[in-house]
């Protein structure tokens, strides 16, 4: 299991903490940046992360920005990505169980760090339920 992770300047500290948290569990991460507090555009790290998930270079992704919305909007432009925003542990589980999110997105400025780590754990521990949820996922691409 290899997880790609990225953040903009708003999520740098949370990203570092998640990388350590996953390392303690023996889970390898690939860091797509950013690693400074200098203001930057979330798109510049979100697209490389999305491409790595789509190519199979990493199995799953985690992305953080201030609200999570810029990351989610950018990531979901990639056809192979289902990026889901989660701000509590239950949603962290549901975004895998119901939406099979292959990238977990969190709003670093609006949740405490401990909650972010627990969301990562519930998302990783959850299983996609398939069935009616697979049917709904299949209908996400707009076909006019």
Which range binds ligand RB5 by CB under 6 A, 20-28, 49-57, 59-67, 75-83? 59-67
Closer to ligand RB5 by Cβ: residue 66 or 133: 66
The correct pick among 31, 43, 67, 76 for binding ligand RB5 (CB under 6 A) is 67
Among 8, 85, 101, 103, binds ligand RB5 (CB under 6 A): 8
CB of 66 to ligand RB5, least distance (A): 3
Q: How far is CA 114 from CA 73, 118, 123, 133, 134, in A?
A: 25, 6, 14, 29, 31
The helix, strand and coil proportions of the chain, stated in percent and rounded to the nearest 5, come to: 45, 15, 40
**Residue of 5, 58, 63, 65 interacting with ligand RB5 (CB under 6 A):** 65
Smallest CA-to-CA distance from 20 within 31, 36, 34, 33 is with 31
Q: How far is residue 144's CA from residue 135's CA, in Å, rounded to a whole number?
A: 17
- 98 belongs to the catalytic site: yes
């Amino acid at each position: 299991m290899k997880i790609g992770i990225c953040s903009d300047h708003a999520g740098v500290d949370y990203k570092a903490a998640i990388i350590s948290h996953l390392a303690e569990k023996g889970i390898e991460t690939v860091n797509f940046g950013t690693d400074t507090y200098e203001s930057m555009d979330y798109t510049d790290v979100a697209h490389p992360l999305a491409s790595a998930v789509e190519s199979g270079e990493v199995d799953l992704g985690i992305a953080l920005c201030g609200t999570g919305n810029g990351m989610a909007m950018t990531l979901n432009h990639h056809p192979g990505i289902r990026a889901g925003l989660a701000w509590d542990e239950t949603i962290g589980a549901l975004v895998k169980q119901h939406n099979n999110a292959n990238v977990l997105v969190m709003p670093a400025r609006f949740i405490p760090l401990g909650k972010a780590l627990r969301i990562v754990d519930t998302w990783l521990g959850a299983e996609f339920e398939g069935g009616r949820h697979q049917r709904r996922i299949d209908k996400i691409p707009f076909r006019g």
